[in-house]
Amino acid sequence: MNHVRRVVDPPPATVFTVLRDRRWGWSAAEVPALAERLGWRIVGRYDGGTAFASPPAEPTVKHRVAAARDQVHYVDIMLTVRVPERTERTEAQLDAAFADLVAEAVGVLGPVGGSTGGPVPSRRWRLPYGTVVVTRTSWTVSATWSPPDRRWAAAAEAGGYPPGGWADFAARLRDDLRGLDGVVLLRHGSRIVQLASSYGVLHAEVVADHAAGPEAERLSTAQQDALLGLGWRAPQPPTDPNWTCPPLRHPTPADVDAMTARLTATLRDVLAVERPGHLLVESWGEEPDEPLDLAVCR
């Protein structure tokens, strides 16, 4: 007997489509219009704007719109009805429901942008109009929708997509590495190459697969061998959970050239980024909400 029942009013694919396309100001005054768009009925409202809403066909399901001072902080959406008890069978059924709902989300929202494992696994998508996290707890599978990450939005608005081909990208990246003071993330779907430099020390990492990540998103044996061949060191948890290379301390021009070649080959040849324009570049320095002025994005 399956104790995990999906909420189908509206279907999850419809919910994900609204989360992808809905453009709004995240104010409590807009919540009734959002509820109407999702076919929900508001069944409770509190000072500050927090509201609970239910599908007419499933009044026991309560979605939460958390707000304070008339500003919405997040929307918790139940994708499955809470299981009546916690057993090995319900754990396995929740695992299956989580996998199915993540697959549906990928079909609407695109590649997963981040994941966590452990007893409460989750998958995250950063979208232009909000961040969506699908989580599997011991009792249910839910989606949390929150305002867009300001660094992501700022990077996108600043033109955070590299122009030109790989030779042009490498030349621009070399310029950035010479004077980098801050953090840079080069994103391609769930893949991330991250750089950080301060006080003359440059670090570079390839974010590793999470043990609970979807099989299709994990690095193949050939990709892992290619990373080793480029001089990356395999993850050594818990101290080094990602692929790393020796930090460059006050790097020379030759050091920067070698790092540029390694990073370009990693993105192009190992992670199969077809062209630089498919990357999203996030960056920040002392001001976490302000992207750096990077040559790769000009």
DSSP 135-166: EE-SS-EEEEEEPPPHHHHHHHHTT-S--S-H
| Residues in Cβ contact with 16 at an 8 Å cutoff, skipping those fewer than 6 apart | 104, 105, 108, 109, 132, 143
* Residue 67: pLDDT over 80: yes
pLDDT of residue 86: 81
210 or 186, which is more confident? Answer: 186
Q: Which two tokens stand for residue 36?
A: 């109407």
Spatial distance between the Cα atoms of 114 and 190, rounded to a whole number of angstroms: 6
Residues composing the chain:
298
Mean pLDDT of the chain: 87
Task: Summarize the confidence of residues 59-70 as an average pLDDT.
Answer: 88
Identify the band that residue 215 occupies on the pLDDT scale cut at 50, 70 and 90.
low
Query: Which tens digits make up the pLDDT trace of 141-180?
Result: 999 999 886 655 555 555 566 778 899 999 999 999 999 9
* Residue 90: pLDDT over 70: yes
pLDDT of residue 211: 46
- Tokens 């990492």: give the residue: 205
Q: Which two tokens stand for residue 97?
A: 């429901």
Q: How many CB atoms lie within 10 A of CB 208?
A: 20
Query: Which tens digits make up the pLDDT trace of 41-53?
Result: 999 887 667 889 9
Query: Which tens digits make up the pLDDT trace of 77-86?
Result: 999 988 888 8
* Residue 213: pLDDT over 70: no
258 or 57, which is more confident? Answer: 258
Give the max Cα distance, the chain: 66
The CA–CA distances, whole Å, from 44 to 29, 66, 78, 273 equal 14, 12, 16, 47
Query: Which tens digits make up the pLDDT trace of 254-295?
Result: 999 999 999 999 999 999 888 888 888 888 888 766 788 889
Lowest mean pLDDT among 63-67, 128-132, 208-212: 208-212
Task: Give the rounded percent of residues in the chain with a pLDDT score beyond 70.
Answer: 91
pLDDT of residue 239: 79
Spatial distance between the Cα atoms of 218 and 19, rounded to a whole number of angstroms: 26
Q: What is the pTM of this model?
A: 0.57
Strand partners, 185: 194, 282
pLDDT of residue 216: 57
Q: Is 288 helix (H, G, I), strand (E, B) or coil?
A: coil
pLDDT of residue 212: 41
